[in-house]
């Protein structure tokens, strides 16, 4: 349903070979808005309008049609954006052939590293598509899987001892992971870490 708004754009634009003109591109950027308008007029689907209309939004504010940032995008919107990006890359277009699996993963990774797409959402989409293991997409700032695990538990209020017990690792190891994480993401406190994990969609 997220692309229902495409019907509000002339097929001559969608099928146009080569680069779009500025006017054409402005029309294309309206299709998520049209999707929202359509769904809001259908009572059983109205609750989905906001999510469906957010499929081209990006965490860093570079998306459209509202230019929302991370704080304005919930988990559903983030997953839909990642799924739409994946599907778009894997499908042929009038101006290019479909991307290979490897090229698609590379492009998605670049979107994660530029903080446009949510890392967790991309990992889930890649895993669901069974293209590659989920680990094909890394966490932002070169965080490891274990560092993200420790960060999540820490910002949820667990003490170092509690994190140690939960993960079955030594308290000193937990502390080392925390300190490494803080250094990578440029914070010095749990409050700073909490803000970072929220902004980057790490609070799974």
Domain 141-199 has CATH 3.20.10.10: no
Q: Distance (Å, rounded) from C-alpha 33 to C-alpha 64?
A: 9
| Bridge partners (DSSP) listed for residue 60 | 69
The sign one gets for the Cα dihedral 39, 98, 61, 29 is negative
In the chain, DSSP finds a helix count (H) and a strand count (E) of 11, 0
Is residue 199 over pLDDT 60? Answer: yes
Does 203 score more than 80 pLDDT?
A: no
**pLDDT score for 132:** 56
Q: Tens digits of per-residue pLDDT, 54-65?
A: 999 999 999 999
Q: What are phi and psi of 71, to 5 degrees?
A: -60, -20
Q: Is residue 137 scored above 70 in pLDDT? A: no
Q: What SS3 state is found at 60? A: strand
Question: How far is C-alpha 138 from the geometric centre of its chain's CA atoms?
Answer: 13
Q: Give the pLDDT confidence of 70-100 residue by residue, as tens digits.
A: 999 999 999 999 999 999 999 988 778 889 8
**Dihedral angle of Cα 199, 33, 79, 119, to the nearest 10 degrees:** -40
What is the mean predicted confidence (pLDDT) over 185-202?
A: 87
CA distances from 120 to 29, 77, 88, 134, 201 (A): 26, 12, 19, 9, 7
The 8-class DSSP code of residue 20 comes to: P
Domain boundaries, the chain: 1-53, 73-138, 141-199
Residue 41 reports pLDDT greater than 60: yes
What mean pLDDT is predicted for residues 117-139?
78
**Looking at residue 55, what is its pLDDT?**
96
The rounded distance, in Å, linking the Cα atoms of 64 and 73 is 12
Q: How many CB atoms lie within 10 A of CB 153?
A: 19
Peptide bond into 65 cis (omega under 30): yes
Which pLDDT value is given to residue 135?
52
């Amino acid at each position: 349903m997220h692309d229902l708004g495409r019907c509000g754009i002339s097929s001559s634009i969608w099928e146009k070979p080569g680069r779009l003109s500025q006017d054409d591109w402005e029309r294309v950027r309206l299709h998520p808005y049209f999707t929202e308008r359509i769904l809001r007029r259908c009572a059983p689907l109205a609750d989905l309008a906001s999510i469906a209309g957010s499929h081209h939004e990006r965490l860093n504010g570079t998306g459209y049609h509202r230019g929302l940032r991370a704080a304005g995008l919930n988990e559903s919107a983030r997953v839909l954006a990642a799924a739409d990006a994946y599907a778009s890359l894997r499908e042929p277009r009038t101006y290019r052939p479909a991307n290979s699996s490897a090229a698609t993963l590379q492009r998605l990774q670049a979107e994660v590293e530029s903080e446009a797409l949510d890392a967790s959402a991309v990992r889930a989409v890649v895993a669901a598509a069974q293209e590659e293991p989920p680990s094909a997409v890394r966490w932002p700032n070169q965080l490891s899987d274990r560092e993200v695990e420790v960060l999540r538990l820490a910002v949820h209020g667990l003490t170092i001892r509690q994190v140690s017990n939960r993960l079955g690792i030594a308290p000193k190891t937990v502390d080392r992971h925390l300190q490494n994480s803080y250094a990578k993401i440029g914070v010095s406190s749990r409050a700073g870490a909490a803000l970072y994990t929220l902004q980057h969609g790490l609070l799974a």
